[in-house]
Structure 1
């Protein structure tokens, strides 16, 4: 049976700041992120299975991505917890803002690595994460491919 790749796209709004960066992105700012998630697998051949013909139900994939990424990162501000931005983060949290503190510099490159790790843990054994594309502007994006990370 042929391997098939399927892709589902998601959107969310997230703010961040890049501590120590030498450009405008050192300031707190936000992006309308677009995340494309591509998985690979073999379509179900059991005619008695309600998911017959599917690699994975798009609804099941949506549930994973919403729970692991969209519902967490949407309308949040992300800071590296090991930077002086921690003071700003604490102030925002005291004012009931949604702040995420991460172990990494919150660039698109590092975020897509984090997202890949989260997604892979939730996929069924017969489905593999093939690639992710995290677009932060119309012209800028980071891509992660499983084949590059073997």
Structure 2
């Protein structure tokens, strides 16, 4: 049976600030993110299975990514909890804003590392996360590949 990669794209709006950064992104701002999630596996060969011919049902992949990432990050503001932004985060939370505190600098690169771990934990054993692409702007994106994580 062939190995197939499938990709699903997700969109969400998230604010963040990069503490200690020497450019404009030190200020609180937001992006319209596009996240492409690619998984790899063998299509189900059992013709009695309702998901016959699928690597994974796109709907099942959507449930995983939505619950782990999109539903949490959409219209939230992400701050590194180990910076003075914690004070701003607390104030925003008092005003009923959605805030996510992470233990990393909330760059696209580090968000991908976080997203990869969250998604991998939820995938069925026979499906592997192949890659992630997080588009931050129309001209800028970061990519994560499973093959890059354990180079031979």
Aligned to 2:111: 111
Runs of 4+ in 1 over 2 A off after TM superposition: none
SS in 2 for 1:116: helix
Alpha-carbon RMSD = 0.3
SS in 2 for 1:136: strand
Q: Distance in 2 between matches of 1:82 and 1:45?
A: 48
SS in 2 for 1:32: strand
Cα deviation 1:66-102 (Å, max 9, x = unaligned): 0000000000000000001111000000000000000
TM-score normalised by structure 1 residue count: 1.00
1:92 matches 2:92: yes
Give unmatched runs, 5+ long, in structure 1.
none
Give unmatched runs, 5+ long, in structure 2.
none
- Taking the TM superposition and a 5 Å limit, the aligned residue runs for 1:59-138 are 59-138=59-138
Aligned to 2:49: 49
Q: Distance in 2 between matches of 1:123 and 1:86?
A: 32
Q: Distance in 1 between matches of 2:75 and 2:44?
A: 37
Q: Distance in 2 between matches of 1:144 and 1:82?
A: 24
Q: Distance in 1 between matches of 2:31 and 2:15?
A: 6
Aligned residues: 150
TM-score normalised by structure 2 residue count: 0.98
